[in-house]
Amino acid sequence: MSIYLDQAATSFPKPAAVCRAMNRMVTRIGANPGRSEHKLARKANQIISETREKIALLFNISEARRVIFTCNATEAINLGLKGTLSPGDHVITSSVEHNSVIRPLKALERAGVQFSQVPCSRQGHLNLRLLKKSIGRKTKLIVLTHASNVIGSLLPIEEVGAFAHSRGILFLVDAAQTAGLVPIDVQRMHIDLLASPGHKSLYGPQGTGFLYISQEVELKPLKEGGTGTDSESYEQPEALPQRFESGTLNTPGIAGLGAGVSFVLDQGVERIWKKEQLLTQRLLKGLKKIKGIRLYGPLEAGKRVPVISFNLNFLEPVEVGFILDDLYDILVRTGLHCAPQAHRTMGTFPNGAVRVSLGFFNTPEDVDALLRALSEITRTRR
Ligand SMILES: Cc1ncc(COP(=O)(O)O)c(C=O)c1O
């Protein structure tokens, strides 16, 4: 059995309950939620509503209808950015963002939106003073990742949220690397828009994600169409969540996501976070002892998510990934991780780095196997 250390891309394996929920949806329910009145359609609809409610509970969202299902974090971020920004607006982001933030911002820039990127340190820390200095008269939104998917650093979203709120600026958080892993409270943290994948630390299947929209935000939909409601009207309904959920939803995926969120609620985010921190500590401690490894990002486990990037002195990252896969059956991700800006910040552009990302189902034995493999590779390839 392969040792899967690519959890930042998507979590694997999923809790057994996720597979059961999807199987039940496909084999026993099957109907289209919200399109018909019959009992199977009502059951499908109930599963969708329950998943929405569980997500609301996990992130302290006061109204579940403010959770909009998307097919991944990228779609949620696109909706958050393109739904709020208009030509003439200014938006601020950081230098460690994923392309799912940078590329929509570049597209918006061509349409007349201005954006500034606040430089982070090589360790991926955001300087709040610099962020505050970039605010201008036209600043409408700040968009930040909660944690870098390359450097692993956590960004100070609570402080930024309080500041944005005090200045009447909207705050969008990309929680791709933290939702389900690090506690997030949208009310306490003054988050207006929370974009999350369902398929990482919420343990749902691929093809799931959501955007939370606070009542402070006036958002334009990116698509219009059938919602199963107000069918007599040619106009998109105003009511949430239908305003943003045209077309048939990924009901089997959302059923699985519901079971994934239940798993997180049952385990407790604090407990999950502690468990993954212990694994991270073990890995960092072991990596520091291996000669010939350049380790990036914060060195203390409590200040980072379990995403650890490094390079070996005598091999390209892609070669390390290949050797780990081929000779040791250990699966990691190498290259630029869809975040060239983060690699520029870390000093590893254009070749990138080896990224190891741990998850709830990884064990100390997985970490030790990786450490043994890396010790051997560095000894024999020197
Ligand atoms: C920080 C960050 N933002 C956004 C995304 C995009 O997530 P998705 O693949 O669900 O669209 C990722 C994916 O790895 C990510 O790490």
How does pLDDT run across 66-117, given as a tens digit for each residue?
999 999 999 999 999 999 999 999 999 999 999 999 999 999 999 999 999 9
Nearest partner of 210 among 307, 336, 87, 72, judged by Cα: 72
Domains in the chain (CATH in brackets) are: 3-12+268-381 (3.90.1150.10), 16-267 (3.40.640.10)
339 CA to centre of ligand 1 in angstroms: 10
d(CA 245, CA 250): 11
Q: Which two tokens stand for residue 291?
A: 């000669």
What is the CA(190)–ligand 1 centre distance, in A? 22
Say if residue 209's pLDDT is above 90: yes
**Backbone φ, ψ for residue 154 (5° rounding):** -95, 135
H helices present in 65-197, as ranges: 73-84, 99-110, 128-133, 157-166
Q: How many CA atoms lie within 13 A of 371 on its CB side?
A: 18
Instruction: Tell me which H or E stretch contains 331.
Output: strand 330-331
Q: Is the CB of 149 within 6 Å of ligand 1? A: yes
DSSP string, 207-264: T-EEEEE-TT-----S-----SSSTT-SSPP-STTGGG--S---HHHHHHHHHHHHHH
For tokens 């109907």, name the residue.
31
Question: Is it the case that residue 298 has pLDDT exceeding 70?
Answer: yes
Task: Decide whether any atom of ligand 1 lies within 6 Å of the 204 Cβ.
Answer: no
Percent of the chain scored above 70 by pLDDT? Answer: 100
Separation of CA 187 from chain center: 19
Type of residue at 353: A
Q: What is the pLDDT of residue 382?
A: 67
pLDDT tens per residue, range 23-39:
999 999 999 998 788 99
Helix (H, G, I), strand (E, B) or coil at 178: coil
Q: What does the DSSP assignment read for 17-85?
A: HHHHHHHHIIIII-PPTTT--SHHHHHHHHHHHHHHHHHHHHTT-S-GGGEEEESSHHHHHHHHHHHH-
Helix (H) or strand (E) holding 295: strand 293-295
Between strands 193-197 and 139-145, the pairing is: unpaired
Ligand 1, from 94, 100, 201, 341: best to mutate by most atoms within 8 Å of Cβ? 100
Q: In angstroms, how far is the first alpha carbon of the chain from the final one?
A: 29
Instruction: Give this prediction's pTM.
Output: 0.97
Note the pLDDT of residue 237. 95
- Give the model's pLDDT for residue 299: 85
pLDDT bin (cut points 50, 70, 90) of residue 352 is very high
**Would you mind telling me the total number of residues written for the chain in this entry?**
382
How remote is the CA of residue 4 from the centroid of ligand 1, in Å? 18
Mutate to test the pocket of ligand 1, among 10, 98, 150, 341 (most ligand atoms within 8 A of CB): 98
74 in ligand 1 pocket by Cβ < 6 Å? yes
Give the three-class secondary structure for 170.
Answer: strand
Percent of the chain with pLDDT strictly greater than 90: 96
Is there an atom of ligand 1 within 6 Å of 209 CB? Answer: yes
- Do 302 and 95 meet the contact criterion of CB atoms below 8 Å apart? no
How far apart CA 298 and CA 266 sit, in angstroms, is 30
